[in-house]
Amino acid sequence: MSNRRKTRVVNIGKLKIGGDNPILVQSMTQTRTIDIAGTVKQILELEKAGCEIIRVTAPDIKSATALGEIKKQIHIPLVVDIHFQYLIALEAIKQGVDKVRINPGNIGGEEKVKMVVNACKERGIPIRIGINMGSLERDLYAEYGKYGLARVMLESARRHIKILEKLKFYDTVVSLKASDVNTAIEAYDLFASEYDYPLHIGVTEAGTKWAGSIKSAVGIGSILSRGIGDTIRVSIADDPIEQVKVGWEILKSLGLRQRGVNIIACPTCGRTEINLKKLAADVESALEKVDAPIKVAVMGCVVNGPGEAKFADIGISGGLKKAVIHRGEVVIRVVDEKDVLPVFLDEIKILLIEKGFEKEAEKIDYEIIGK
Ligand code: SF4
């Protein structure tokens, strides 16, 4: 996005957060961290879904000691989430984590912070300061009526940043999460106009899959549209795979990242002449593993479908017992209703091969036909 605010760059494993680097999609495991096999399994599934950074909680030393083994078995940067306990942080760093989420003001004094900061400096790993509207310092809550929640969240961030800067530590990522969308937008906006630390964006405790996805899309999308944000995490009460999928859809909708095939479908209306809902879902399933920058349209009628989908690389529009396949507006094939799905998938395959995506063409899943 051309209006993207310039942030400093921090390293996280082999990746970088901030600057002109891609906005990364991250998630958090839901397993017990001491269950190494279960945690690794979930992370590997998340990797497949497009998760680029994974955070795990370490509520005790035992969990922290499991991190080294977990890291060995995964392929994306591992972030540890720690509250208050500097000894757990030190163990996690020793185990080789790529980033620590800890608030320096809550560790219990400068000496303890210094030990964590020095350990991070030695290993070259960043710290994320995670401001959450639900867990601000008591004295700041007292101020909130006067200044508004977003401003006191900013003040909280300032305090933690000051502690790190005093120790000459600048590899810091910051998040300012609120469950209220407007508060989150304002907090990130205020922060970005004062600091150049890279930002982890999210709307916290967004809600269930349906409502939470919408809330996250509106909140994260609004913040990103202001040019703010270097990594995103969708917090919905569902499988973390869904969180990653929603994150990618947000980035794809704003044109910020590309992953998979972009599928568009009309909302249907009185003109619709095919079972569009099923066809669109089948096409989406069949193309789930394909990663190529093409736009595929599934439209409900031949009257308006090809025209409305003129910007798609390939589309299908339903007619009475027949459907037409078109590239842009140009009809290339007429197909009987019963053959719609296999023929359309074949045509997508041809298109992918023509565009040089032979390997991706092989990933079309024809198993969906007849289901
Ligand atoms: Fe209705 Fe046809 Fe437009 Fe779909 S493409 S919404 S069926 S007019």
Q: What is the pLDDT of residues 27-43, one digit of tens each?
A: 999 999 999 999 999 99
CB of 277 shorter than 6 A to ligand 1: no
Q: What average pLDDT does the segment 234-244 reach?
A: 93
* 10-253 CATH pick, 3.40.50.300, 3.30.70.1560, 3.20.20.20, 3.90.79.10: 3.20.20.20
CATH T-level topology, domain 262-368? Sulfite Reductase Hemoprotein; domain 1 (3.30.413)
Banded model confidence at residue 144, pLDDT cuts 50, 70, 90? confident
Residues 12 and 214: their CA atoms lie apart, in Å, by 29
What's the confidence (pLDDT) of residue 103? 94
Does 167 score more than 90 pLDDT?
yes
Does 15 score more than 90 pLDDT?
yes
215-224 pLDDT per residue, tens: 999 999 999 9
In this structure, what is the dihedral angle of CA atoms 74, 93, 99, 133, given to the nearest 10 degrees? 120
Banded model confidence at residue 141, pLDDT cuts 50, 70, 90? confident
CB of 315 shorter than 6 A to ligand 1: no
Taken as a whole, the chain contains a residue count of: 371
Q: Which of 34-48, 146-160, 271-285 has the highest mean pLDDT?
A: 34-48
85-136 pLDDT per residue, tens: 999 999 999 999 999 999 998 888 889 999 999 999 999 999 999 999 888 8
Relative to beta strand 15-17, strand 10-12 is: antiparallel
Per the CB < 8 A criterion, the answer to whether 95 and 61 are in contact is no
Q: Which atom of ligand 1 is nearest to the CA of 272?
A: 7
Banded model confidence at residue 142, pLDDT cuts 50, 70, 90? confident
Same fold? 10-253, 262-368: no
Per the CB < 8 A criterion, the answer to whether 122 and 100 are in contact is no
What's the confidence (pLDDT) of residue 1? 62
Query: How far lies 309's CA from each of 127, 298, 334, 345, in Å?
Result: 46, 8, 17, 17
User: Which residue has the least CA distance to atom 5 on ligand 1?
Assistant: 305
CA 362 to chain centre: 26
CB of 308 shorter than 6 A to ligand 1: yes
What are the structural domain ranges in the chain?
10-253, 262-368
Q: pLDDT higher for 241 or 147?
A: 241
Per the CB < 8 A criterion, the answer to whether 315 and 306 are in contact is yes
Task: Say how many Å lie between the CA of residue 72 and the centre of ligand 1.
Answer: 51
Residues 1 and 341: their CA atoms lie apart, in Å, by 36
Does 278 score more than 70 pLDDT?
yes
Task: Say how many Å lie between the CA of residue 181 and the centre of ligand 1.
Answer: 33
Task: Say how many Å lie between the CA of residue 38 and the centre of ligand 1.
Answer: 45
